Every structure is written in C-alpha cells, then in structure tokens.
Amino acid sequence: MTQTLTLPRPDDWHLHLRDGAVLRAVLPETARHFARAIIMPNLVPPVVTSGDAAAYRDRILAALPTGMDFTPLMTLYLTEQTDPDDVAHAHASGLITAVKLYPAGATTNSTSGVRDFDKVRAVLDRMAEIGLPLCVHGEVTDAEIDIFDREAVFIDRVLDPLRRATPGLRVIMEHTTTRDGVEYVKANDSGLAATITTHHLIINRNDILAGGIRPHYYCLPVAKREEHRLALREAATSGDPRFFLGTDSAPHTDPNKESACGCAGCFTATNTLSILAETFEQEGALAHLEGFVSRNGPGFYGLPVNSETLTLTRGAPITYPATIDTEDGPITLFDPKMPLHWRVD
C-alpha cells in the first residue's frame, strides 16, 4: 500500500536567498515546496532599512518564476544605528515580519552586527511594544570562547539578560544546535521559540572532521557532539509547538566552500522535506511532522496556517542532483548520507 502524507503547505522560518544569479537559481528550490520563508538580511551590504527591505523583496518577487506561489517574509538586519521609527513603520505597513540580530562577527556577512547591546535597547523596547519578533543568531564571538561552546555561553551572557531586560519581546533562537538551547526554550513559558535546521538533525561534528575535512558540512552554528544532535531530534519530533523548521539553507558556490578558508553554510532547500519525513519516520513521529513544518511557525508568528496542501509519498529511494547550477558556479546540495524514500508530489 502506498503511504502518503498530506500537510498544509510548509514554511521555512530561516532562509538565505542571496541576490542576483544565486537568488535566481535557489529561489525555485524553496518556492516549489514552501509557501513562505523568513528571508535573512545578511546581503553585502546588509538589508538595514525599510527601503532596503522593500527593494530586496521586489528583487525576490522579480526572480520568482511565473506560476510559482511564494511569499517572502522580510527581515531587517539590526545594527547599532537602526532607527526604532523606521522599524515600527516597516512593521505597521506589513513590509517586515521580524528583525534579525547578528552579534558582530558571528557568521557570514555579520560585521555590521551588534557589539554593544545598549545601543539597540530603544529598538528592542519598541519591538516588544508593537509585538515584532526578534530572530537571534545565538553565538558569542569572543575569541577566547571555544567555537563549540559559543551557543551555550550566548544563552547565559546575552540571551537571558536581553530577554529579562525586555519583557514582552518575542524571541526566536534560530538554528539552535545544542541541548542547552533546547532546554532553555523548554524552561521558558511564553515569548520564546527555536528554529531547528534540517542538517543539524542529521550531522554531528564527526561528519565535518572525521576521516577528512568535509566543507559541505561546515555551517554556523557549527554542528556539535552527538548528544546535542539527539536533543535536537527529540525536540523537533516531540510535537512541542515551540520548535519549528528554519532550514538555514545557505548557498555558497563550491569554490567558496572548497577553499583554504571555506564559507559556512549548508544548502538544503531542495531535499529538506524528504530528509525531514525520513527523520520523523525514523523517530516514529510522522504525526508530528505537520506541526514542525506547517503549524508551529505560523502559531508563534501569529500568522495563518497555509490553506493549500502538499503531499509526500513513500516509495523506492529517490535521488536528488548532487549540485544545482548557477551562473556563478555550482552549489552542492546537502548529502544526508541515507536513502530518502519520501518524495514531494
């Protein structure tokens, strides 16, 4: 008997689309399956003002192939110069859905991020007042903190104090990679959620480093020990509405990944739903896939669940291309190193 699974069309609550040739190549990979996505603003230069966000949204919509239905949910990149009025205006007009906090230097294109959190206090207070969520890249950047500890230290030193200082601020701890992150979210009742990526459910740090260095598994926050991967799998498949999908699909061309100083990011837009269905099936939790990909995100953001549906069918293992081609060069698709039986119809 064929097994099928029909869900409200999923959304991706953390996505990098880039610009230009890469945007044109990767956008259809997401739009084919996902109705909406939170669009990361870490372009060069970053999307910092409402004017930048409007222009970027127009470029995304112009790159969308005819006949595809996709809504980009725009974000602003928080800097120490961000104007609270500009943010409030962009929110009121429906242009933006969230603001993104990058600690300066934490990841790809984050040099314009925040160094002194007092300088963004007025923006955060205003966001709490108007109910605009903050998406947080949760890693400290101090050179003396081991890269594998940066998320846990961020929770103690930055995230928890920031949340206490800004009551009512809705926060998404993005791409959480640790048991510490999962436990922090579970211990807090309201106004806090976490996204989990596809790849962090699949790989641990051995996949990056054991038996040769594998740049296509390098992303930030970096994958941690196996116990953390297991905590993420438990959280994602548990049905807890505070956890939802943010793929963090982050395309970089192969020459930029396979380099002496390779870029961080895994490109997962194309095969994410097949990987997630396989993962939830392995955990005996297929019934919770719908919450993770289609319901929990809109629930936290206060948006409607999509009314269209998407169907997954289980059958013989399917193959995805190893790379997608762009005018800037090939982009390698994340390899989950397991057969994938679920295809999107």
97 near ligand NCD (CB under 6 A): no
Nearer to Zn ion among residue 128 and residue 220 (C-beta)? 220
CA–CA separation, 212 vs 223, rounded Å? 16
* Sequence letter at residue 160: D
Largest CA distance in the chain: 60
Rule CB under 6 A: which of 120-139 touch ligand NCD?
A: 137
Site mask, ligand NCD, residues 11-50, x = CB under 6 A?
-----x-------------------------x--------
The interface partner of residue 205, options being Zn ion, ligand NCD, none and the CB cut-off 5 to 8 Å by kind, is none
Query: Contacts with ligand NCD: how many residues (CB under 6 A)?
Result: 11
52 near ligand NCD (CB under 6 A): no
Of the candidate residues 10, 265, 297, 298, the single one contacting ligand NCD (CB under 6 A): 265
**What does the DSSP assignment read for 34-52?**
-SEEEEP---SS---SHHH
CA–CA separation, 266 vs 248, rounded Å? 8
Nearer to ligand NCD among residue 53 and residue 312 (C-beta)? 53
Residue pair 233/279 in contact (Cβ under 8 Å)? The answer is yes
* Chain residues in the site for Zn ion (CB under 5 A): 248
Nearer to ligand NCD among residue 23 and residue 220 (C-beta)? 220
The interface partner of residue 123, options being ligand NCD, Zn ion, none and the CB cut-off 5 to 8 Å by kind, is none
CA–CA separation, 115 vs 124, rounded Å? 15
Nearer to Zn ion among residue 249 and residue 279 (C-beta)? 249
Of the candidate residues 250, 269, 273, 275, the single one contacting ligand NCD (CB under 6 A): 250
Give the strand pairing for 340-344 and 11-15: unpaired
Nearer to ligand NCD among residue 9 and residue 24 (C-beta)? 24
**Minimum separation from the CB atom of position 109 to ligand NCD (A):** 6
CA–CA separation, 30 vs 64, rounded Å? 10
248 tagged catalytic: yes
The interface partner of residue 139, options being Zn ion, ligand NCD, none and the CB cut-off 5 to 8 Å by kind, is none
Helix axes 84-92, 121-130, angle to 10 degrees: 20
**Minimum separation from the CB atom of position 6 to Zn ion (A):** 29
Tokens of 267: 């490109």
CA–CA separation, 62 vs 227, rounded Å? 43
Residue pair 31/317 in contact (Cβ under 8 Å)? The answer is no
**Minimum separation from the CB atom of position 18 to Zn ion (A):** 11
What are the backbone dihedrals phi and psi of residue 152, each rounded to the nearest 5 degrees, phi first? -60, -40
108 near ligand NCD (CB under 6 A): yes
Tokens of 185: 């979210």
Tokens of 212: 């040769």
Residue pair 10/310 in contact (Cβ under 8 Å)? The answer is yes
219 near ligand NCD (CB under 6 A): yes
The interface partner of residue 112, options being ligand NCD, Zn ion, none and the CB cut-off 5 to 8 Å by kind, is none
H helix or E strand, kind and range, residue 25: helix 20-31
**Minimum separation from the CB atom of position 264 to Zn ion (A):** 9
Of the candidate residues 155, 192, 220, 293, the single one contacting ligand NCD (CB under 6 A): 220
Helix axes 50-63, 84-92, angle to 10 degrees: 40
Nearer to Zn ion among residue 128 and residue 135 (C-beta)? 135
Which of 11, 207, 248, 335 does the annotation list as catalytic? 248
Which residues are registered as beta bridge partners of 38? Answer: 73
The residues carrying an active-site annotation are 248
Q: Which positions lie near ligand NCD, rule CB under 6 A?
A: 16, 42, 107-108, 137, 219-220, 248, 250, 264-265
